[in-house]
């Protein structure tokens, strides 16, 4: 895989950082150029390095077994971290093979002085917790306070869905202005390059790659953690892996892993800024509205209900019902989160929520068991 020299062009108020990509056997329909697009005011902060492109394409190269050749310098610190990153992902998924990376000498790039602290912001519970935690009222150290929030188009909201992105971006930009935080809309087609991979494993490189496009700006960049330290299942954006992709001037911090999802929601539940903006649903994109039916919506609504804050949240337009919880379709990676939600509801004296969550969890565990032992169960019925 060859990454050609990154180039910057400015058109219609937007600055695009792009590089042509050559692959030995490209999948059908894959673009020949990877790009990141920012408002023109950020043009001076776009990185001339290969860092953003190497990170964005790393898992694709590993899956295809293609070494990477970059026609631009690569951060030495990042290069070392990528070695460890590859080893861990290879342990998690053996089909991701170790690849070598060649690049131009680093001496050709003069280091800029980072001046900002960024965070990835999607409008979800993890994002709101990270933002809330690092505002001046709760973050005593100025160097750790968030100054810029990146809202990525092409991550959870597809590039072709302009309406959802525009509505969410408008709401979040207004909030960030109130909080004195710069709102940075970002567009990228990097998800196209990992569409043949498991999104649960590949989403991390999309997120971190976009942040590295503005590497000269940031001394620290928060990735809101979607996992808890007690959870050890492999995940694309993980407290064990994200920091490995730091450079010598930009530190990635996987933030909030010491808190459970319920604890995070409990922390910001009564923060008015979140009432009309919390957006957790990926099942049915509808502006800022959540579907109120998928497991992520139901888990979030249950936590807000136990906190006594759900009536304030206008982004959940449907009422919270016991049938809704009992019929919730849970995946196996959500089981630990449901266990903690049950503990939280029990501590708050909500026996109704406890009973409904336990019912949904038992159904999901039985379904998972039957799915994994389908052949054994079928033979048992035949013998019977």
List, as one string, the DSSP characters of 171-195: HHHHHHHHTT-EEEEEEE-GGGGGT
Whether residue 281 sits in one domain with residue 150? no
Res. 90 pLDDT band, cuts 50 70 90: very high
144, with CB counted inside 10 A (0-12, 13-18, 19+), is: middle
Contact between 79 and 101 under an 8 Å Cβ cutoff? The reply is: yes
Whether residue 367 sits in one domain with residue 218? no
Instruction: Let me know if residue 101 belongs to a domain.
Output: yes
Res. 379 pLDDT band, cuts 50 70 90: low
Confidence check: pLDDT of 383 > 80: no
Res. 362 pLDDT band, cuts 50 70 90: very high
Whether residue 187 sits in one domain with residue 325? no
Higher pLDDT, 114 or 345: 345
Angular region, 379: left φ>0, alpha ψ -120 to 50, beta rest: alpha
* pLDDT at residue 114, rounded to an integer: 82
Place of tokens 């790009």: 35
Contact between 214 and 47 under an 8 Å Cβ cutoff? The reply is: yes
Please count the residues of the chain.
384
* pLDDT at residue 381, rounded to an integer: 59
Task: Point out the domain boundary residue: 255, 281, 297.
Answer: 255
Whether residue 205 sits in one domain with residue 93? yes
Whether residue 179 sits in one domain with residue 282? no
- The 3-class SS string of 8-30 reads EEEECCEEEEEEEEECCCCCCCC
Q: How far is CA 332 from CA 96, 217, 336, 366, 369, in A?
A: 23, 39, 8, 11, 10
Instruction: Let me know if residue 382 belongs to a domain.
Output: no
The mean pLDDT value for 47-76 works out to: 97
Task: Point out the domain boundary residue: 255, 280, 301.
Answer: 255
Confidence check: pLDDT of 29 > 90: no
Whether residue 357 sits in one domain with residue 331? yes
Whether residue 286 sits in one domain with residue 184? no
Instruction: Let me know if residue 264 belongs to a domain.
Output: no
Whether residue 294 sits in one domain with residue 247? no
The mean pLDDT value for 207-231 works out to: 95
Output the CA torsion sign for 82, 218, 251, 202. negative
> How many domains does the chain divide into?
2
Q: The pTM is what?
A: 0.93
Q: Which of 332, 333, 256, 344 is nearest to 300 (CA)?
A: 344
Instruction: Let me know if residue 80 belongs to a domain.
Output: yes
Instruction: Let me know if residue 351 belongs to a domain.
Output: yes
Give the range of the structural domain holding residue 346, as residue numbers without chain letter.
272-372
Determine what percent of the chain is predicted with pLDDT higher than 70.
Answer: 96
Whether residue 294 sits in one domain with residue 224? no
């Amino acid at each position: 895989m060859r990454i050609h020299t990154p180039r910057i062009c400015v058109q219609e108020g937007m600055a695009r950082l792009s590089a042509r990509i050559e692959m030995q056997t490209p999948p059908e329909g894959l673009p020949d150029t990877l790009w990141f697009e920012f408002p023109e005011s950020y043009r001076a902060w776009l990185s001339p390095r290969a860092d953003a492109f190497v990170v964005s394409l790393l898992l694709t190269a590993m899956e295809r077994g293609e070494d990477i050749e970059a026609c631009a310098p690569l951060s030495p610190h990042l290069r070392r971290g990528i070695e460890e990153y590859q080893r861990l992902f290879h342990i998690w998924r053996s089909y991701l093979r170790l690849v070598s990376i060649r690049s131009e000498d680093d001496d050709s790039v003069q280091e800029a002085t980072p001046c900002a602290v960024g965070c990835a912001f999607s409008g979800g519970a993890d994002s709101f917790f990270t933002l809330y935690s690092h505002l001046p009222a709760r973050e005593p150290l100025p160097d750790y306070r968030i100054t810029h929030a990146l809202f990525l188009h092409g991550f959870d909201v597809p590039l072709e869905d302009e309406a959802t992105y525009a509505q969410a971006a408008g709401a979040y930009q207004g909030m960030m202005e109130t909080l004195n935080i710069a709102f940075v809309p970002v567009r990228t087609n990097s998800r196209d390059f990992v569409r043949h991979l498991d999104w649960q494993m590949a989403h991390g490189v999309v997120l971190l790659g976009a942040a590295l496009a503005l590497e000269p700006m940031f001394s620290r960049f928060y990735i809101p953690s979607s996992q808890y330290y007690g959870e050890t299942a492999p995940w694309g954006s993980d407290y064990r892996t994200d920091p490995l992709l730091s450079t010598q001037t930009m530190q990635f911090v996987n933030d909030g892993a010491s808190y459970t999802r319920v604890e995070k929601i409990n922390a910001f539940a009564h923060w008015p800024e979140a009432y009309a903006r919390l957006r957790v649903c990926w099942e049915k994109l509808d502006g800022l509205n959540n579907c109120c039916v998928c497991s992520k919506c139901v888990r979030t609504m249950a936590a807000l209900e136990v906190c006594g804050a759900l009536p304030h949240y206008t982004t959940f337009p449907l009422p919270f019902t016991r049938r809704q919880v009992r019929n919730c379709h849970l995946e196996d990676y959500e089981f630990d989160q449901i266990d903690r939600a049950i503990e939280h509801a029990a501590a708050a004296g909500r026996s109704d929520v406890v009973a409904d969550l336990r019912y949904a969890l038992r159904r999901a565990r039985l379904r998972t068991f039957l799915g994994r032992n389908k052949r054994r169960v079928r033979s048992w019925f035949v013998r019977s």
